[in-house]
């Protein structure tokens, strides 16, 4: 990535606004259930504190209505957790612009931190309103974007503020883009991509872009059934995008024409109904009964996909292989995660459900990189420019 990073700007004594991604899951009692996103931002935060910056952190959390403060989306639990992780005081401003924010920032000394309240309490954030962006930017002298998870959104705190401040990338953003960029543009081969999840329509651009780059493309999850239909198979009550069948045919033809190995499941775990304890059995891909639905890849397919993964030098995975929220239909996703943990090559998990699966199974430290952004990593894999990255200063 040829964008300037935190190391390319002088920050000592300066007010530095850092857009982080503290959009963490909370339970009903507002306890953080997974603090990985907070931990992922620590290298940038600690570097800036060590260098004597006056640190102003901005983030969103959840999907507030954008009409002012909502207690359940307050960043208060995040401020408390960040304080524990850093071992130093984190002041939470009661808003992200206005008097509370200004006063908190005015009092900042070198090496101190203010966390602004949820930027999405203002609808102007997601609308990328220039006046709101200017008000945010007016708090600081330098801007650092370290929120890869929202880099694909042109919001006020990710793109708008760059019009008013010198803007650079934080360590997390840089790491995400360097690792994924390298894998896509200059992969060690064989290069294998594994795509799962429910819909082909969500991944059309990704498939088209990857077909130009990979040696093997593996398709699992709900989207596989649209490809089965394109091959003329009965799919029963399985997930199907009937309007994408012709497209699925074309994608398979493109793969053939470019010499990309295109792997679909050869057997599936099918169930009587969509329930965790539904009656289920394993059938070949061309033998799905009319009133059953496919909910996972079968055992033969797991081995087939596993061989490709173990043989690969670069693997990118995005999207589960089945309904992994139901233990009976999680075996395919678990198998892929397990094979990835054993692959000697570069292994990249593209955020979202795949990242959750790898975390749950304790394999996070056995893969090269787990992305912090599902949507952003998908757009990146599609070859699209991310607005939050494009807006930063070039080296």
pLDDT per residue of the chain (395 residues) written in tens, 0 to 9: 689 999 999 999 999 999 999 999 999 999 999 898 999 999 999 999 999 999 999 999 999 999 999 999 999 999 999 999 999 999 999 999 999 999 999 999 999 999 999 999 999 999 999 999 999 999 999 999 999 989 999 999 999 999 999 999 999 999 999 999 889 999 999 999 999 998 888 899 999 999 999 999 999 999 999 999 999 999 999 999 999 999 999 999 999 999 999 999 999 999 999 999 999 999 999 999 999 999 999 999 999 999 999 999 999 999 999 999 999 999 999 999 999 999 999 999 987 788 888 888 899 999 999 998 888 888 888 888 999 999 999 99
Q: What is the DSSP letter of 73?
A: G
Would you name the residues annotated as active-site residues? Answer: 37, 199, 352, 375
Residue 3 has φ and ψ, to the nearest 5°, of -110, 150
Using DSSP bridges, classify how beta strands 216-219 and 261-263 pair: parallel, antiparallel or unpaired: parallel
Strand partners, 267: 284
**Is 6-171 assigned to CATH 3.40.50.1260?**
yes
> Which residues in 97-131 are b (16+ Cβ under 10 Å) and which e?
beebbeebbeebeeebbbbbbbbbbbebbbebbee
Q: What is the location of CATH 3.40.50.1260 in the chain? A: 6-171, 180-381
CA distance 25 to 359: 14
Query: Which class would CATH give 180-381?
Result: alpha beta
CA distance 280 to 330: 13
């Amino acid at each position: 990535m040829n964008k300037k990073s935190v190391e390319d700007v002088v920050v000592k004594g300066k007010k530095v606004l850092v857009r982080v991604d503290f959009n963490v899951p909370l339970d009903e009692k507002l306890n953080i259930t997974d603090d990985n996103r907070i931990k992922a931002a620590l290298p940038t935060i600690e570097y800036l504190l060590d260098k004597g910056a006056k640190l102003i952190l901005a983030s969103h959390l959840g999907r507030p209505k954008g009409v002012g403060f909502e207690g359940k989306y307050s960043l208060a639990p995040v401020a408390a957790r960040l304080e524990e992780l850093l071992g130093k005081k984190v002041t939470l401003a009661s808003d992200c612009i206005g008097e509370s924010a200004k006063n908190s920032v005015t009092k900042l000394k070198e090496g101190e931190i203010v966390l602004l309240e949820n930027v999405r309490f203002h609808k102007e954030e997601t609308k990328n309103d220039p006046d709101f962006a200017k008000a945010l930017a007016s708090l600081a002298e330098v801007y650092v974007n370290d929120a890869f998870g929202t880099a694909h959104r042109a919001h006020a705190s990710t793109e708008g503020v760059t019009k008013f401040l010198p803007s650079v990338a934080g360590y997390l953003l840089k790491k995400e883009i360097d690792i994924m960029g390298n894998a896509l543009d200059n992969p060690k081969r064989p290069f294998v991509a594994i795509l799962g999840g429910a819909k082909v329509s969500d991944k059309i651009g990704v498939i088209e872009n990857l077909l130009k780059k990979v040696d093997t493309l593996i398709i699992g999850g709900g989207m596989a059934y649209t490809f089965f239909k394109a091959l003329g198979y009965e799919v029963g009550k399985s997930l199907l995008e009937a309007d994408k069948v012709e497209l699925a045919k074309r994608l398979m033809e493109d793969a053939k024409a470019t010499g990309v190995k295109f792997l679909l499941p050869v057997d599936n775990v099918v169930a009587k109904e969509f329930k965790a304890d539904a009656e289920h059995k394993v059938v070949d891909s061309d033998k799905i009964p009319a009133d059953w639905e496919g909910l996972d890849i079968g055992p033969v397919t797991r081995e087939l996909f596993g061989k490709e993964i173990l043989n690969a030098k670069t693997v990118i995975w995005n999207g589960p292989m089945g309904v992994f929220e139901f233990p009976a239909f999680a075996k395919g996703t678990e198998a892929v995660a397990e094979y990835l943990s054993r692959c000697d090559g570069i292994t990249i998990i593209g955020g979202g459900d795949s990242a959750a699966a790898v975390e749950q199974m304790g394999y996070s430290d056995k893969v090269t990189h787990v992305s912090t952004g599902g949507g952003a990593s998908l757009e990146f894999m599609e070859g699209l420019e991310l607005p939050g990255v494009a807006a930063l200063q070039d080296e």
